[in-house]
Amino acid sequence: MPACPLRQARNPRIRNGQRVSRTDAQARAEDVARAAYGKLIAMLASRSGDIIAAEDALADSFVAALKTWPERGIPDKPEAWLLTVAKNRRTDQARKDARLVITDEANDMADTQAIEPEEAQLDERLKLMFVCAHPAIDETIRTPLMLQTVLGLEAEQIAKAFLIKPATMAQRLVRAKKKIKSAGIPFVVPEPEAYPERMSAVLEAVYGAYAVDWLEGDGDLSHEAFFLSNILAELDPENPEALGLTALIGLIESRRDARIHNGVLVPVPEQDVDLWDRPLIDRSASILTQASLKGRPGRFQLEAAIQSVHAARSVTGKTDWRALSQLYHGLMQAHPSIGGAVSRAAVVSEDAGPAEGLKMLDLIAFDGLDSYQPFHAVRAHCLSELGRVAEAAEAYNTALMLCTDEPSQRWLEKKTADLRKKMS
């Protein structure tokens, strides 16, 4: 498969760490890609179900755009241009393959003209999201599939985020795409009756997409995922978890400017509240209230409630550890996870003291705990508070070895340095 230049352009980090020089045409093409990648894939693939062919055709049309636009100017309707070129390319290919009915293509061509309305765009993306999170698709590949087909990420980047070998990730993505085509998974937004059954997988996958680059990324992907969560909340406003997810992402996003200072991670309770996005906090909190009025609590609502307790510090000036501790207990019942368990222990250590926090850590029984960085970081913190500095230093060291992102590494180094001062 030819590499899509826009996928690379989307994320300049992967080009030897150097930003690609942006001509106007390139910049415009990038903008179109960001806004419309998933939509164009959905429109190209919806009839045949063939995502791989759609990606190939779109990659070719992006190549053509980067060649043609600087010379002849950017077309009035760049998306329609890209779509038409991709469809022509695909028709050529189909003629070569001599196995596609051309009349079908003619119908496809007709709706090229009718793609402009905003609503249609949302609809097409939604269809693709429901395809990616279809119950017939393996749960663990749904988020990667969404990252690739809806948001246009390369398999390599996705593999890095999921700590899987790039070749393995690429293979699994291809397998999923082939299944979509051969099993006949339809490109449709399900009937509202099916929302309860289908929505939670879509919400999970979108949250997964948000989590991928929340710390290190340039924010593009997070914004896209936030946007998708908003669409889902609008699609299914009676679903408190859909509202909960968009409130949760909004609350985390509101702290984007505060979470790293001079390259060092700043934990939420220590962040400068003046750097928080107040309107976004208020908006998210109000969505969460709407959700809780439905009287059906769930994982995302509880996580959003936890984040809104943190957000309340901007008004009250202090963190309500007792409330956090109770919410984490609730979360662990609704949706047990290793991250929740470790965060609960951290919160308990602030509320009831480091000895209690340590006890909570000892009770955690999840696979992969030994290689879970936050576990060692929280343990180090509790030990340090208890004056068990040698053990604390060892735990910080383990955490550092497991840490994969720079801001967290620097934060752990800072904690280790603080500990050394304490020891001497």
Partner 1 sequence: MRYTFLLYSDPAMAANMTEEDWAKSKEIYGQYIGALQEAGVFVDTDWLHPADTATTITLAGGEKQVQDGPFAETKETLGGFFAIDVENLDEALKWAEKCPHVHYGKLEIRASAMGSV
Residues near partner 1, by CB under 8 A: 134-136, 182-186, 188, 190
**Residue with smaller CB distance to partner 1, 187 or 300:** 187
Backbone angles phi, psi at 238, to 5 degrees: -85, -5
Could you tell me which residues come within 8 angstroms of residue 109 by beta carbon, excluding any fewer than 6 positions away?
84, 87
Contact 301, 240 (CB under 8 A): yes
Distance in angstroms (rounded) separating the CA atoms of residues 400 and 89:
50
Strand partners of residue 265: 260
Quote the least distance from Cβ 130 to partner 1, whole Å: 10
Q: Which residues pair with 260 in a beta bridge?
A: 265
Shortest Å distance, C-beta 94 to partner 1 = 14
Torsion of CA 191, 195, 201, 206, to 10 degrees: 90
Q: Nearest CA to 43 among 56, 57, 54, 34? A: 54
CA distance 17 to 7: 15
Give burial (CB, 10 Å; 0-12/13-18/19+) of 239: buried
* Minimum distance of partner 1 from residue 131's CB (angstroms): 10
Contacts of 70 (CB under 8 A, 6+ apart): 23, 24, 25, 26
Measured from the CB atom, the residue of 96 and 99 that comes closer to partner 1 is 99
Q: Least Å distance between CB 114 and partner 1? A: 23
Q: CA of 182: how far to CAs of 49, 159, 213, in Å?
A: 8, 25, 32
For partner 1, give the closer residue by CB, 28 or 181. Answer: 181
Whether the Cβ atoms of residue 206 and residue 232 lie closer than 8 Å to each other: yes
User: Given the complex with partner 1, which of 107 and 337 has the nearer CB atom?
Assistant: 107
Which CB sits closer to partner 1, 107 or 182? 182
Q: How big is the chain by its Cα radius of gyration, in Å?
A: 24
Give φ, ψ of 261 to 5 degrees: -125, 120
Residue 352 has φ and ψ, to the nearest 5°, of -115, 0
Least separation in angstroms between residue 121's CB and partner 1 is: 23
- Return the number of the residue (9 or 185) whose C-beta is nearest partner 1: 185
CA atoms of 219 and 371, how far apart (whole Å): 27
CA angle, corner 82, sides to 80 and 86, nearest 5?
115
**Residue 186 Cβ vs partner 1, minimum distance, rounded to whole Å:** 4
Q: Pick between residue 188 and residue 390 the one whose CB is nearest to partner 1.
A: 188
Q: Report in angstroms how near the CB of residue 209 gets to partner 1 at its nearest.
A: 23
- With contact defined as beta carbons under 8 Å apart, do 160 and 169 qualify? no
In the bound state with partner 1, the residue whose beta carbon lies nearer, of 46 and 148, is 46
Beta bridge partners, 261, equal: 264
Task: Please report how close the Cβ of residue 192 comes to partner 1 at its closest, in angstroms.
Answer: 14
Q: Which is nearer to partner 1, 117 or 184 (CB)?
A: 184
Residue 245 CB, nearest approach to partner 1 (Å): 24
Least Å distance between CB 135 and partner 1?
8
Q: How far is the CB of 183 from partner 1 (least distance, A)?
A: 5
CA distance 285 to 248: 9
Nearer to partner 1, 141 or 281 (CB): 141
Q: Whose Cβ is closer to partner 1: residue 184's or residue 317's?
A: 184
CA–CA distance, 207 with 214 (Å, rounded to integer): 11
282: which 2 tokens? 């208020």
